[in-house]
Amino acid sequence: MRRYQALQLINELTADLPLVVTCAATSRELAAVETRDNHFYVLDSMGLVGSIATGLAIAAKGSDVQKVIGLEGDGSLFMNPNVLPTGGFLSPNRLFLILLDNQVYGSTADIPTYADRVDLGAIAEASGWTVGRADDEASFRSEYARLLNTAGPTFLHMRIEPGNATDVPKLLVDPVTITNRFQAWFTHRLGQGTEVNA
């Protein structure tokens, strides 16, 4: 499976959850699949998805938002792997990081990352995250469902093939507009429901 197909799947599964998305091809392709208010495209901030998702997961404590989803690439997570020990240390119940691992920097000519020799899922596991692994649609769906219902920080390591979708337009929406749109959605979403879970 390539990134675009994985994003179609993730978009389908996360309609009612905050989705923080890494920059460049991943944001561009997800916006091409569908642009929704619950998508926070982290433009030009490589490696910060885990930091933002951790903060939002802490903010969601006590709400009925089941998980805050952070969507990372391997190159981007290697830029700031500190989010793994930080997430494991803080251990928010609602933190869920999905890694789309194609072992290359897909936005810069498929230059190899460290991912063929350094296992980011193992780093997450050693840092206290509950880790699931998938490499196709069926395994992704089952591990996603399991981790969605697992308390504490969860990490779904999805292996995909390299390759960007063709004819995907640049994402030229003003980051301020993206932020305001997501913030309004998230604030409204936090106010919904009466169930309180610590």
Are the CB atoms for 2 and 159 separated by under 8 Å? no
Among 29, 72, 74, 143, binds Mg ion (CB under 5 A): 74
Candidate ranges 37-45, 102-110, 120-128, 183-191; the one touching Mg ion (CB under 5 A)? 102-110
Does residue 70 touch Mg ion according to CB under 5 A?
no
To the nearest whole angstrom, how small is the minimum distance from the Cβ of residue 75 to Mg ion?
5
Does residue 29 touch Mg ion according to CB under 5 A?
no
Candidate ranges 12-20, 50-58, 85-93, 106-114; the one touching Mg ion (CB under 5 A)? 106-114
Specify the amino acid at residue 34: E
Q: CA torsion, points 79, 16, 2, 121, in degrees to nearest 10?
A: 40
First to last CA, the chain: 36
| 38 Cβ contact partners less than 8 Å away, ≥ 6 residues apart | 14, 15, 16, 17, 18, 19, 182, 185, 186, 189
Q: CA torsion, points 179, 79, 56, 198, in degrees to nearest 10?
A: 170
Distances in Å between the Cα of 118 and the Cα atoms of 16, 98, 110, 126, 171 are 33, 17, 17, 13, 31
Q: Which residue has the tokens 């769906």?
A: 141
| Closest-approach residue to Mg ion (CB) | 73
CA separation for the pair 86, 123 (Å, rounded): 12
Among 47, 70, 73, 88, binds Mg ion (CB under 5 A): 73
Site string for Mg ion, 112-151 (x = CB under 5 A): ----------------------------------------
Candidate ranges 60-68, 70-78, 141-149, 166-174; the one touching Mg ion (CB under 5 A)? 70-78
Among 14, 22, 93, 102, binds Mg ion (CB under 5 A): 102
Task: Say how many residues touch Mg ion, by CB under 5 A.
Answer: 5
Site string for Mg ion, 5-24 (x = CB under 5 A): --------------------
Residues of the shown chain interacting with Mg ion in the complex, contacts defined by CB under 5 A: 73-75, 102, 106
